[in-house]
Amino acid sequence: MRGQEQILEKIASKCYFSASTGDELSVDDRHLPEIIQCRTCHIQFPREKCSRGRGLCIAVKEEACTTGKIFKNDGTLWLTFRGCLKNCANVNNIKWSVYLVNFRCCRSHDLCNEDI
């Protein structure tokens, strides 16, 4: 499982770097909870249930719940993953090898990343 975590860390760091060089997500965190629960799933293929890593994680103040979606170059969804991520930013179409990666972040309520 460590190999998968390294891949996700590389994708996340590339997405944060790409987002921070463009439009950063600006959030007024005075009205957001200090910690929230997020859904985790390391591997979920389209039209299937989570096959690896289903559970919960706790996002502290500088973290957010995230949902990442990896698409093939033709736009077909290949894989979805969920979890907690520090310095999360909403980004679209980050090129990763032959794939495109989208990240969505949220802190509005517990398990907010189940529906994004």
* pLDDT tens figures, 85-112: 999 999 999 999 999 999 999 999 999 9
9 sits in which H/E element: helix 2-20
Cβ–Cβ < 8 Å for 81, 46: no
Structure confidence by residue, pLDDT tens digits, 11-52: 555 544 444 444 454 555 566 568 999 999 999 999 999 999
Domain total of the chain: 1
Neighbouring C-alpha atoms within 13 Å toward the C-beta of 24: 8
Q: Given pLDDT bands bounded at 50, 70 and 90, which one contains residue 116?
A: confident
Q: 86 by DSSP, 3-state: which?
A: strand
Residue 69: give its domain's CATH number.
2.10.60
| Segments forming the whole domain that contains residue 83 | 2-25+34-114
